[in-house]
Structures are given as structure tokens and as C-alpha cells.
Amino acid sequence: MDRYRQIKHLNVTDDLVQKVIGFYQNHVEVPYISPDRDLDSWVTSVELGVESLVPKRNMIRFEDDCLPGHIILLWRIGFSTFTNESVFPKYFEYDYGIHADEALEDIQQKGFARKLTASESLKYLPATHLKAFLKKKGVKGYSTLKKEELMVKVKEMFTEEELASLFNVRGFELTHLGKQKLEAHSDVVDRHPKKSY
């Protein structure tokens, strides 16, 4: 495995790259660094002790090539509020050293999580959107329906293909394998600072 693969995309001076490699010389691999990061300022902050490095333990891969950051992503998905429109917190890069978008693809490919279909993702839409869909189909008497009832009615009136063309938000959920993986590495989650989701 190329321990520098996470920084090969950086378009910065060799001097800066060498400093980053120097910071992480005792890590198993160098963490991911976004090309959008002001690397010069970050390097200076690290040298001054203002910024911290990704901890060594967060760059040690588990047996299936996952990093602790992948476990945190699974944990985040487990709250059932995570969608393709969710913003990834900076801690994925700065504390866990992973490219969150790529990690999301990885855990799906490994069978730990799956993207929901359009009909399964209706729960992420406000009731006003659901009512608009029904109005579009000429359905009457939906104004008093609760959101759960609106979702049922929308599913009755639209095919999956029709729904997929009406909105873009899609949720994610853990698979059985993903839940097992999360449970097996609960110590990673235990160390992570918590807030409500």
C-alpha cells in the first residue's frame, strides 16, 4: 500500500509536501488532505502548536481496509438523518484523515451501508413537497393527511422511476454487516466527542 496516496493530488510545492510527510513520518500512512486546505497556513499552525495532527491510531487500518473514520461515518449514518445532501464535518479530514466522499463510496462497496431509493427517502421531504406531488397527480383530499399518510399516498400514486425524477435527496442506512462492523469497533465511537443528531 502506498502510504502517501492520500496527498498525491496536492498541487503545492515539494517543500510543503515534505513538511507534511515529516509530520506524519511515524504514522502508518499519511492522512488525506483536501486540495482546498490552505496548506501553508496549516503547516505554520502545526509548527506553532496551534493545530493538531491526525492521531496515529486513526491511521491504522482494520482487517477489511477500513480506518476509524469509516467507523465514525457508519455511526453517523446510524442516526437515520444522513443524506446525500448532508455536509461532512471537518473532523473527517482533520481528526480522522479520510476523504469523506470516498469513504462513503467505500462503505457502500463493502456492503456496510446502502443508499435508499426515492420512495424510501420520502421521509426526508417536508409535507408541503409531498402535497405538491399529489396535486400534480390530481389527487384530492390530501390537505388533512399527516406526513406518514402523505408518504403512503405518494407511493401509491407514483412509480419509483417517477419519484426518482422528482427530487434528489436520498438517505442512507446501515446494512446488517454495517451494524456488526460498528458494534465490533464501538471503542472508536466511544472516543469520539458526542453531540445530538
Single-letter amino acid, residue 70 = H
Domain coverage including residue 145: 122-166
Half-sphere exposure of 186 (CA within 13 A, CB side): 4
Phi, psi of 172 (to 5 degrees): -130, 155
**pTM to 2 decimal places:** 0.89
Residues 31 and 66 in one domain: no
Phi, psi of 174 (to 5 degrees): -75, 145
Residues 4 and 98 in one domain: no
pLDDT tens digits in sequence order for the chain, 197 residues long: 455 566 666 666 678 888 888 999 999 999 999 988 998 899 999 999 999 999 999 999 998 899 999 999 999 999 999 999 999 999 999 999 999 999 999 999 999 999 999 999 999 999 999 999 999 999 998 889 999 999 999 999 999 999 999 999 999 999 999 999 999 999 999 999 877 54
Instruction: Report in angstroms the alpha-carbon separations of 125 from 1, 26, 113.
Output: 42, 46, 21
Domain count, the chain: 3
Residues 62 and 92 in one domain: yes
Please, are residues 32 and 54 in contact by the beta-carbon 8 Å criterion? no
